[in-house]
Chains A and B, each alone.
Chain A
Amino acid sequence: MKDILRVKCLLSADVEALINQQIKKEAHSSAIYLSMASWCNRNGYDFSGDYFFKQAEEERMHQLKFFKYVLDMGGNAVSPEITNVKAEYNSFREVFEEALDQEISVTQSIKNIAARCYKEQDFVTLEFLNWFFKEQREEEYKARRALELFEVIGEEGTGRWQIDKHVGQITYDSEA
């Protein structure tokens, strides 16, 4: 008997479902960053606002990368519904704490897909995921460095103003 499911689609139903979940996660992430950009902008943290706008765009780009991969492999990519986007934050610092939490959770979620791929020996998807692992190194690095500014500079006096100015300058250039 012909293996029609495999002929039509490279991905197993489980991996496809996991990637669709990831698509939703990236979209949610993008929405949260946009919300953070709004909060920062409203409260006078211009540079951080721009930083989060950029992050929102990057997450959207990640979402589309997953989306197109599913379609290219013959699967069904689902455009997700996004709800539960936090709009208010208690402090400038809280925004960055949540940004780092967000990135850690994304890394974890991609690791989870990779674990499933190993189990199924889906090396094609694993290779595709490698790009994201490298990207997550950068994302977590940037979020962690931003949060560290609060320790290094301190929030007293013009501290927050200084922190805001430095957030946009964080770059990750390791080629390792």
Chain B
Amino acid sequence: MQNLTIQATVDFNEVFSTKHGAIYQSDAENCWYIDFAGKLARFDYRNILKLKKAVYQIDIEDLLLNGANSPDLEILFICACDHCYVLSLVQIIALKELLQGTFVMLELNHIIQDRLYRLIG
């Protein structure tokens, strides 16, 4: 696992943030940086979709209701990705919220690009 430092020259756009974390997009690198659980991790197109799938697949309700005997931890391991997350239930909910917001914003950005720039430009 590596911790990345942000270079001053890298141009970041904040896509979405909550009080628990934030996701930034780098146009130059075609990727996203996720600032969450105390680290900044880089995700490319394939990996962020895999992370989204992994987080969305966690059955939070089941963990809450039937998880009495299991530790309150989930390990999120993404295939062919440098990062993994070990998260508590509260953090999972926070990460899910962050990702949901991010994908709504990306969708919105897509609509704006389609309607404004691609038509006129």
Contact call A1/B110, Cβ cutoff below 8 A: no
Interface of A (DSSP majority class): helix
A-B residue pair count with CB separations less than 8 angstroms: 29
Residue in B13, B27, B110 whose beta carbon sits within 8 Å of that of A5 in the complex: B110
Please tell me if A2 contacts chain B, counting CB pairs below 8 Å: yes
Instruction: Give residues 1-27 of A contacting B (CB, 8 Å).
Output: 1-8, 13
Q: With an 8 A cutoff between CB atoms, is A76 at the interface? A: yes
* Chain A residues positioned under 8 Å from B106 (CB to CB): 3-5
Task: Report whether B45 and A2 are in contact in the complex, using a CB–CB cutoff of 8 Å.
Answer: no
Cβ-defined contact, A6 with B113, below 8 A:
yes
| A15 smallest CB distance to B (angstroms) | 13
Q: Mark B27-43, 1 if CB is under 8 A from A, else 0.
A: 10011000000000000
A interface bracket (residues with beta carbon within 8 Å of B): 10 to 19
Given A8-B45, A76-B49, residue A3 in contact with residue B25 (CB < 8 A): no
What residues of B have a CB within 8 angstroms of the CB of A76 in the complex? 49
**A6 engages B110 (CB within 8 Å):** yes
Q: Say yes or no: is B18 at the interface (Cβ < 8 Å to chain A).
A: no
Closest B residue to A8 by beta carbon equals B45
Distance, CA A56 to CA B49, complexed state (A): 33
Chain A residues with CB under 8 Å of B25's CB are 1-2, 4
Q: B49 — which chain A residues lie within 8 A by C-beta?
A: 76
B65: min CB distance to chain A, Å: 27
Interface residue? B100 (CB, 8 A):
no
Which residues in B have some Cβ–Cβ distance to A below 8 Å? 13, 15, 25, 27, 30-31, 45, 49, 103, 106, 109-110, 113-114
Extra A-B contacts (5), CB below 8 Å, given A4-B27, A7-B30, A76-B49: A1-B25, A3-B114, A4-B30, A5-B106, A6-B114
A-B contacts, 8 of them at CB < 8 A, read A1-B25, A1-B27, A1-B109, A3-B106, A4-B27, A4-B31, A7-B30, A76-B49
